[in-house]
Structure 1
Amino acid sequence: MQNKKIKKVKVGDFEFDVVLADNFIKRGLGLMLRDIGDKAMLFLYKRRKITMHTFFMLYPIDVIFIDKDMVVEAVRLKPWKSYKCKNYSTAMLEFKCRDAELNKLIGEKVEFMRG
């Protein structure tokens, strides 16, 4: 997959312009202490169960875990929480909390659009 060319991600009724977390520093900092507006941050990695935190976050976030281009898990997290994904995944999408039932996204196909 040519990571740097991914510009948008579509999941169900949601479509996001993405900021790629494509190096060690970007993956380590994620959305801490920053606001990327209506965009989402996309993390790509080798298949595993991710453990993450929302320390130093400025707002609650929704997180979608993706494996084989399908949503396998979704969670809403407030700042200063930690979370361990129960499923294996190869990608994670983080964005500002939306007014949506995240569980309805599980099983949805994820489309990665390149620009």
Structure 2
Amino acid sequence: MQNKKIKKVKVGNLEFEVVLADNFIKRAFGLMLRDIGDKAMLFLYKRRKIAMHTFFMLYPIDIIFIDKNRVVEAVRLKPWKTYKCKNYSTAMLEFKCSDIDLNEIIGEKVEFMR
């Protein structure tokens, strides 16, 4: 599947419409200083321990780290925080803070859909 065609991500029984961070600007800024509504932003990487920050964020966000089509880690961050994933990941999904119990989705299967 070509990455640019990913439109949705399914995590267990949750489904997210996504905006793909497919260029330098989108990857550098992510959700910083912007609101993409109910959508999530999907970042794809070579396998590594992903580090990120919430500087200049307008609201708290939830972040799901994905490797081998499984959720390996999930965290909720307030603005002006930094975080480094403890596990290797190939993708990161970030979205507005929600009422999802992030501990319950660890290990859930992830599907990338067109």
1:1-115, aligned counterparts within 5 Å? 1-114=1-114
What amino acid does structure 2 have at the position aligned with 1:17? E
What is the CA-CA distance between 1:14 and the residue it aligns to? 1.6
Q: TM-score under structure 1 normalisation?
A: 0.97
Share of identical aligned residues, percent?
A: 87
Deviations 1:60-95 (A, max 9, x none): 000000000000000000000000100000000000
What is the CA-CA distance between 1:25 and the residue it aligns to? 1.0
Taking the aligned partners of 1:67 and 1:86, their CA distance within structure 2 comes to 12
Taking the aligned partners of 1:3 and 1:108, their CA distance within structure 2 comes to 21
What is the aligned residue count? 114
What amino acid does structure 1 have at the position aligned with 2:81? K
Taking the aligned partners of 2:68 and 2:12, their CA distance within structure 1 comes to 16
Q: TM-score under structure 2 normalisation?
A: 0.98
What is the CA-CA distance between 1:48 and the residue it aligns to? 0.1
Deviations 1:41-74 (A, max 9, x none): 0000100001100000010000000000000000
Structure 2 gap ranges (5+): none
Task: Give the alignment's Cα RMSD to 1 decimal.
Answer: 0.7
Taking the aligned partners of 1:31 and 1:80, their CA distance within structure 2 comes to 13
Taking the aligned partners of 2:25 and 2:90, their CA distance within structure 1 comes to 19
Taking the aligned partners of 2:109 and 2:48, their CA distance within structure 1 comes to 19
Runs of 4+ in structure 1 off by over 4 angstroms are none
